[in-house]
Structure 1
Amino acid sequence: MATVSVITICFNNLADLQATCASVDRQERHPDEHYIINGSTAPDIRQWLEHTPQPVYRKWINERDRGIADAFNKGIHLAAGEVTHLLNSGDLYASADVIAAMMQVFESDPAVQWTSGNLSMIRGGQPVTVGKPFEKDKLYRGMRSVLHPTWFVRKEVYGRIGGFKDYKIAMDYDLMCRIADEPYRYIDKTITVFDDTGISSTAYLRALKETRTVYESYYGRSMPMILWQLRLKTLHHLLNTGLGKWLFRIKKKLGGENW
């Protein structure tokens, strides 16, 4: 059987980390290791890890980091598993069989280097499930529901394409631009319940701007991206109005939340 490392980064959010750890512990197939990368300034996470009984697969490192990308890279470097999953503190596995189902994909097809699936989240004030197969020719659309919290990635991939670059928000999109040619499979399964209090959600317009910077660094100026981002900005502003929320509820009833 292939081995799997789950990596969770955290910063001064003990309750979120505890919820994520409980989600990992409920899995039918536990990870071979669950690494906690704790960059907190407060001592409560370190104290909880060190003074509360933890499963044998849980490991941790308590030291300051230089931000999200640096914390991700620390976890990937430490991971011993053949497959990695980055499950941020506050995010949860959607069901007890997620790790088992995803590892079956890698074990049945050694050619697969990374996978993505579906994500449960709040959009327009409504609970929705989103997820689409990755298509390289649509990278100008940003993440496009190929959402990083659902990715399982063979560790060897990072040896070929490198780790996360030090962007403030769009480090996952930058990675997707570099992972685009690796053999991939979409899994039509809800993988993760997303904590939407993170910076990619609360600073959405900044995320769009950084996404454009990343895309242009690889592919140059793109009119399709400019027009697509204009659409996304319009929808973002609309969803923050009563009318927009009402229209989204109608869209959801028609099954269009993933359009």
Structure 2
Amino acid sequence: MKISIITVCWNSEKYLKTAIESVLNQTYKNIEYIIIDGGSSDKTLDIIKNYEPLFKGRMKWVSEKDNGIYDAMNKGINLTSGDIIGLLNSDDFYISNNALEKISNAFIRENVDSVYADLYYVKETDTDKILRRWITGKKRPFTSGWHPAHPTFFVKKEIYSKFGNFNVYYKIAADFEIMLRFLEKYSVSTYYIKEFLIKMRLGGKSNENFKNIKKGKNEIMQAFKSNNISVPFYYPYKRWMFKIFQYLLKKNIY
């Protein structure tokens, strides 16, 4: 099975090399790597161009203005030619060189539409420092507070074709909405790999400040509503506390 990996970036010179190298060093070679750049003004493009020959024709990239991260992700999805699609943030990376081997094997062995795994949140400047372990566990209702860590979520391309790409109405929570739509509304089949596959530097737009935490919570509630899924009354408060905890971790308060 061919795996398409998409990285969206903008002025990402600080950590992009680590993300690219974690893809380049994968033992699974039937891949394509697509980088969607939002028109960077730093050395991001130089980094991309330097690594492109090392992929020996398996890399595509675009650099142009976009309408936000989810618009850029949709551009990447539309360029893919693989059977499976995964998204890797420009400041995240695969922990081991056989991560994609494990993903491919799970799809083939379990004959499912999607696969997900566990994730480490790490300190931005010291990726050996684990701040939190996201142990996703087996699939449960999203209303319980469960959902996969999006960077570990791999999906067959045919599912995007059937049920749609990211909804760009959402500026912060489109990743949550698309997983909710696929797994909860349309009940696509999935399999959990009980293993940490990705390290994610703690941060992200949804945890940037209290304003974004509130906006993200509101978007998540809208995602439930637009997909006709009712939530218990306490869910918004539970989500709010979870995001505040992430914010405090980011600020080194915990």
Task: Look up the match of 1:173.
Answer: 176
Task: Look up the match of 1:148.
Answer: 150
| Aligned-residue identity in percent | 27
Amino acid aligned to 2:190: Y
Task: Look up the match of 1:77.
Answer: 78
Question: Which structure 2 residue ranges, 5 or more long, are not aligned?
Answer: 124-128
Task: Look up the match of 1:229.
Answer: 236
Structure 1: 4+ residue segments shifted above 6 A: none
Structure 2 length as normaliser, TM-score? 0.84
**Relative to structure 1, is the Cα distance of residues 43 and 93 closer, same or farther in structure 2, using a 3 angstrom cutoff?**
same
Q: How far apart in 2 are the matches of 1:236 and 1:106?
A: 31
Alignment of 1:161-200 (within 5 A): 161-166=163-168, 167-180=170-183, 181-200=187-206
Task: Look up the match of 1:251.
Answer: none
Alignment of 1:1-259 (within 5 A): 2-42=1-41, 44-51=43-50, 53-56=53-56, 57-110=58-111, 112-122=112-122, 127-130=131-134, 131-135=136-140, 138-142=141-145, 144-166=146-168, 167-180=170-183, 181-202=187-208, 203-219=212-228, 222=231, 224=232, 226-234=233-241, 236-237=243-244, 240=248, 245=254
Is the 8 Å Cα contact of residues 132 and 145 (structure 1) preserved in structure 2? Answer: no
Is the 8 Å Cα contact of residues 5 and 34 (structure 1) preserved in structure 2? Answer: yes
* Partner SS, residue 60 of structure 1: strand
Post-superposition Cα deviations, 1:54-100, rounded to whole Å, max 9, x if no partner, equal: 32122211111111111111111111110111011001102121100
**Relative to structure 1, is the Cα distance of residues 169 and 237 closer, same or farther in structure 2, using a 3 angstrom cutoff?**
closer
RMSD value, Cα = 2.5
Question: Which structure 1 residue ranges, 5 or more long, are not aligned?
Answer: 246-259
**Relative to structure 1, is the Cα distance of residues 77 and 23 closer, same or farther in structure 2, using a 3 angstrom cutoff?**
same
Measured after TM superposition, the shift of residue 204 of structure 1 is 2.8
Amino acid aligned to 2:216: A
* Partner SS, residue 117 of structure 2: strand
> How many matched pairs?
236
Is the 8 Å Cα contact of residues 23 and 92 (structure 1) preserved in structure 2? Answer: yes
